[in-house]
Amino acid sequence: MSNNNESLANQDIEIPSVLPVVPLRDMVVFPYMVTPLLVGREFSIKAIDEALSKDRMIFAVSQKNFEENEPTPDQINTVGTVCLILRMLKMPDGRVKILVQGLRKASIVSYTKTIKDNPFFEAEVSLLQDQLASTPEEEIEIEVLIRTIKDQLQKLVALNKNIPNDIVVIANNIEKSEQFADIIIANLQLKINQMQELIEILSVKERLRKIVSILNRELQILDMQAKIQREAREEISKAQKEYFLKEQLKAVKKELGEKADSDEIEELRQKIEAVKMSEQAGKECLKQLSRLEKMYSDSAEANVIRTYIDWMVSLPWSVSSQDKLDIKSIEKTLNEDHYDIEEAKKRILEYLAVKKIKNDIKGPILCFIGPPGVGKTSLAKSIARAMGRKLWRISLGGVRDEAEIRGHRRTYVGALPGRIIQGLKQTGTNNPVFVLDEIDKLGSDFRGDPASAMLEVLDSEQNYEFEDHYIGVPFDLSKVFFITTANSTDTIPAPLLDRMEIVRLSGYTTIEKMKIAKKYIIPKQIENHGLNEYNIKFTDKAIQSVIENYAKEAGVRNLEKNITAILRKIARQIVESPKKDQSTIYEINVGNLEKYLGIPRYYSSEKLDKDYIGIATGLAWTPVGGEVLFIEALKVKGSGKLMLTGSLGDVFKESAQAAVSFARTQYKELNLEEEFYEKYDFHIHVPEGATPKDGPSAGITIACAIISALTNKLVRSDIAMTGEITLTGRVLPIGGLKEKTLAALRVGIKEIIVPFDNKKDVSEIQSQLKIKDVKFYFVKDMQEVLKYALKDD
């Protein structure tokens, strides 16, 4: 901002009655001001462009609410300043920086354009005239007010370093009272509402009075601030005096042979020596202890140091639990607790076998990936129990603060170590099993990125010197057995994923769920409900019905909930029975299942009841397991438009477009008219429209449904398919085949079309799932898909 007596504001410039309007969020422009404006809103940029194309003038006026991004005319003040654009610079991010000169105050008469129907605001404005002194008495009063303001400014500059010294020089060189008032207001650090109030006051005398009032209040605040600072310095002097007196008291007690206050210091020193911490940690603790010894014991800083030393001596620097390394015994424990998941068990036993041979190997970092309810967290607990190690579980879902992992620095009030160090203190050993649950659901915000903080924790090449912000020295985490769990790898950052060994736990088949229910869930829940003494029996068909009709999921969590619900109702029957006869048999069968669980939530016969034209059965992968999709295609008379419905993602839509293009290129082979696509519109729909669907693996299913609709051939309902299609009809490999196979089995489909390149995965899937009656068709192109999927006339 500047004052220039020869400025454009004092020159005779013709100002148009209609001007582009630029609403300002965070400032008020006064006449005689030369100030930069950073403009980012589109309608304001267009208003500036309009002004530059004509007479370079805009009407700058402040908004009533600065948070409003697209204000309406009633949300903009009426009084502002006509400004001349002196310079304009376009920024790389699309914003515009302009330098403007305030010319005249003006008021909006009416809007000729608003951003509701136009690219920018435009308004008819009326120039405002300042009301000067009309009598000699008023002239004297204005002169007194100006001198008062000059005196106040000199005091203000002396007390507040944020106010520039130039303001006093500027004030002394201004002759006109109205110019003096506007320049002073523009250079004071006032709030927007105060500046708007002042620009609307046309009487120069009243405006000067208002400035005197504002400056008086500011001087009072600065006086009070100076008083508080003086009192604070006196308190510090008092504290220093108490410290010297305390030191003198110590010396007197020592001369008299009495016990000094050094008992606590000596006790802490003995603890530090007994803990056998690292050399660097020991030096830091003794350094802090030395500082504590010189401090007043009740000071805030002394309490911070005392808490820090307490944390340091309570950490298990050299305490390790003894591992149980009987491989067969551990294998037995894992098999007792969990059915199947052989890959995870095999990896654990391999690690323990190596550890038995070489004791100083670094702890592994495993990541169990799988849908909810397949036993990821409980497997980690079983590993800790089998190895004889302490367990510490950290739930990372929704954690957004980096300090949750690395801790707070001791400079903060209420600082604490992060969850890693807290877990070590709680377990009391330096080699526990750490379960980091839901690592795929870590968040990030202004407090940092916890996923980045985990990079050092989950890196066996770095975590031997992990440094928590609170303790400030390295702690060896290499002995800790880290196990992380996640539903999907999609949201885990690639650098973090690279540091972990992925162990995938897939969903269970119906047969596997039945075995888990009979061997684990039912006995466990009967014991948990105190029903061991009663004769409770579940028939195999009842368990199968619960799995297929009430708990259709990849895992077994909902299966356990439903079995728990049945046992609760049986417990109530037993309690309410007048004669509690323990010989009564409580049998749960298909006939009485609805009595316990209500009507079925799902139906086992979900596959299509017959073959249809234009409906193909596809397979999809989701973070909670595989799903079956029924893709419907319909041709109607039209002009070749393609409609896609069912909450489909971009990749899914692209697959549909590729499928239609392939059908158009194969019109001869399919016995279609050459210009068939100009006569029909195609509508592709995937039911369950509320559920989002995306991915390329539905490509051959969409193509199959479209070609079926075009050729009027039935699609086999007993066959499912998955594969990505290219424009030339090639079938590309896909992922998640195991989960998709399980989904097909759940609905009773035992014939599956898969890409030829996925042939290598099938043998592994068959051995893992122990299935032999599923028939796979391996295809390289769309012609082979149609051969297996479509029925001949």
Residues labelled as active-site residues: 697, 740
Inter-residue contact 711 to 671 (CB < 8 Å): yes
- Taking only Cα atoms into account, the Rg of the chain, rounded to an integer number of angstroms, comes to 39
Q: Which two tokens stand for residue 81?
A: 């300043």
Inter-residue contact 563 to 529 (CB < 8 Å): no
Residues 442-463 as b or e (16 or more Cβ within 10 Å = b): beeeeebbbbbbbbbbbbbeeb
Instruction: For the chain, give the number of residues.
Output: 793
Inter-residue contact 386 to 502 (CB < 8 Å): no
d(CA 367, CA 8): 71
Inter-residue contact 56 to 125 (CB < 8 Å): no
Compute CA 135 distance to the chain's CA centroid, rounded to the nearest angstrom.
Answer: 68
Helix (H, G, I), strand (E, B) or coil at 114: coil
Q: Which two tokens stand for residue 8?
A: 């454009």
Give the DSSP letter of residue 322: P
Q: Which two tokens stand for residue 391?
A: 């367990």
Give the DSSP letter of residue 664: H
Angstrom distances, CA of residue 224 to CA of 159, 217, 229, 231, 431 = 11, 11, 9, 11, 58
Helix boundaries (H) for 257-326: 263-275, 279-293, 300-314
Give the DSSP letter of residue 521: I
Half-sphere exposure of 47 (CA within 13 A, CB side): 31
Residues at the binding site for ATP are: 370-377
Strand pairing partners for 435? 393, 483
Give the DSSP letter of residue 450: H
Contacts of 136 (CB under 8 A, 6+ apart): none
Residue at 679: amino acid letter: K
Closest CA to 541 of 574, 479, 590: 590
d(CA 291, CA 446): 34
Q: Which helix (H) or strand (E) holds 776?
A: strand 775-779
Backbone angles phi, psi at 337, to 5 degrees: -85, -30
Residues at the binding site are: 370-377
Cβ-count burial of 50 within 10 angstroms (0-12 exposed, 13-18 middle, 19+ buried)? middle
d(CA 236, CA 293): 19
Cβ-count burial of 347 within 10 angstroms (0-12 exposed, 13-18 middle, 19+ buried)? middle
Angstrom distances, CA of residue 640 to CA of 113, 139, 631, 676 = 43, 84, 19, 8
Compute CA 445 distance to the chain's CA centroid, rounded to the nearest angstrom.
Answer: 7
